[in-house]
Structure 1
């Protein structure tokens, strides 16, 4: 689907799912951390005992296109890691952890961490062609540890900003890797992300990817953020796996209606426009059941 560029929220879809174009991409040219104003890591906490997972069926708003004041009924939001948390709500911090972004971010990765970009046998970058996003190389334990030196501070920044949880996106990037990456690589990197999040007092969400539901306990996921589970008939899988602690987002009124009819009594079901536009912007849609 062709989408016109919008200077405020240049987001895109994969499999009809929105992902952010990193707001701090320009800052990556200067610093790997891109975390907080003073550049300091968030302090470690006492671990999983301090983690607070969201309540099942909490009213949820998906604000990846830009933060705005939520409706009075909203109890939880997801926002980009460059945004401030919403006061008084359960806040999920969006981090693109398994792919990089086009533009300046690619230049930064090529300059600072060229070996962490996934390449084919000919040395060319392996790219999510739909959105021109190179995949990160999570194929070995050494590269996963090195990647944590970049992504880990982003998670620290979420904690220091006051978020309650982190949502690492593109867990399923191995599906776009020309078989260079495997599900076990994604699970291993996700485990490192979960350990980092828990050490900072953050819960961590599984983002989509039913194939990795059997690994959720070993990885350490606490809840799920799922896009189009009604459209892909996945809501029940996630509901059963996470005891209904699932934020489900649909992008058509038909799928939203089906999700509400089938799962509205158990799950938090949200309707958003495909651009996840800020309130007041053209095309903005929000409903919850």
Structure 2
């Protein structure tokens, strides 16, 4: 609030008082703005151009408004930026960074693995372990916020489906609720990665939008669109998946076709296509 030096009966002590009041008001305004951002984080705009760059950052195509990048990367200037974190599983090569008791183990004591990506599953089966794992993941979210990302994308929400029945959907929802609360405290939106069968739990879990892989291929886009009011970014990995997604959802959802390795343009495996 600017101080009005034309106030009738102006005195030096009044100047000091008004200056203090201005600082208090400014502080309260700043606090309110932060609270508003935490309660209502900005969401990816429906139907906007999207690029999935978790395999490595590069200059986005001209029509892109939304980009998702790994937490180790920097956000793209002037775009809506989603920060990828592997929250429910361990990145290959990072197993030693985790306490051994936080890795999910079967009845023989062997670590349960995601066979497709050779990633150990994290043990989110108890409240105590969920809190410890969340502490580490939330530290990554802090890094995303500090870099200027708009949202966070915790991957492998569906890890319970690969857990040999050691984890449940309830465990997954309880864990991601912890991540949602922290993301919101930092002013970030948080996305549900896949797992359409839990999309109707978004009010319970605090999730804001969806990141859906192959929903066109498997005819699941409608479930995400309904649950998240079209705030959905879609990645297809086949021409058929892209064709199906575009046929039904081109004007409502943000859709891109990428190669499975989500490589950069200097790779001979790089694929990028839109509707």
CA distance in structure 2 between the partners assigned to 1:246 and 1:214 by the alignment: 14
The higher-RCO structure (CA 8 Å, 6+ apart) is 1
CA shift at 1:50, angstroms? 5.0
State the partner residue of 2:264.
Answer: 278
Residue by residue over 1:95-122, the C-alpha shift from the partner in whole angstroms, topping out at 9 and shown as x without a partner, is 000001233x11232xxx1111111122
Contact 1:248 1:270 in 2 (8 A): yes
State the partner residue of 2:43.
Answer: 53
Residue by residue over 1:107-155, the C-alpha shift from the partner in whole angstroms, topping out at 9 and shown as x without a partner, is 232xxx1111111122221111232211101001111111122111001
State the partner residue of 1:87.
Answer: 77
State the partner residue of 1:20.
Answer: none
Gaps of 5+ in 1: 1-44
Q: Say which of 248, 270, 274 aligns to 1:262.
A: 248
State the TM-score, normalized to the length of structure 1.
Answer: 0.81
In structure 1, the residue corresponding to 2:110 is in which secondary structure? Answer: coil
Deviates more, 1:238-247 or 1:121-130: 121-130
State the partner residue of 1:197.
Answer: 183
| Structure in which a larger fraction of residues adopt helix | 2
CA distance in structure 1 between the partners assigned to 2:176 and 2:130 by the alignment: 10
Q: Say which of 56, 59, 62 aligns to 1:69.
A: 59
Contact 1:268 1:288 in 2 (8 A): no
State the partner residue of 2:97.
Answer: 108
State the partner residue of 2:209.
Answer: 223
CA shift at 1:49, angstroms? 2.9
Matches within 5 A, 1:126-145: 126-145=112-131
Deviates more, 1:249-258 or 1:136-145: 249-258
State the partner residue of 2:193.
Answer: 207
The alignment status of 1:251 with 2:237, answered yes or no, reads: yes
Gaps of 5+ in 2: 1-33
The alignment status of 1:149 with 2:139, answered yes or no, reads: no
Residue by residue over 1:25-48, the C-alpha shift from the partner in whole angstroms, topping out at 9 and shown as x without a partner, is xxxxxxxxxxxxxxxxxxxx4263
The alignment status of 1:178 with 2:164, answered yes or no, reads: yes
Q: Which runs of 4+ in 1 moved over 3 A?
A: none
Contact 1:97 1:168 in 2 (8 A): yes
CA distance in structure 1 between the partners assigned to 2:92 and 2:48 by the alignment: 34
CA shift at 1:259, angstroms? 1.1
CA distance in structure 2 between the partners assigned to 1:132 and 1:240 by the alignment: 33
CA distance in structure 2 between the partners assigned to 1:200 and 1:263 by the alignment: 31
Residue by residue over 1:195-227, the C-alpha shift from the partner in whole angstroms, topping out at 9 and shown as x without a partner, is 010000100000000121121111011110100
State the partner residue of 1:78.
Answer: 68
In structure 2, the residue corresponding to 1:257 is in which secondary structure? Answer: helix
CA shift at 1:283, angstroms? 2.1
State the partner residue of 2:221.
Answer: 235
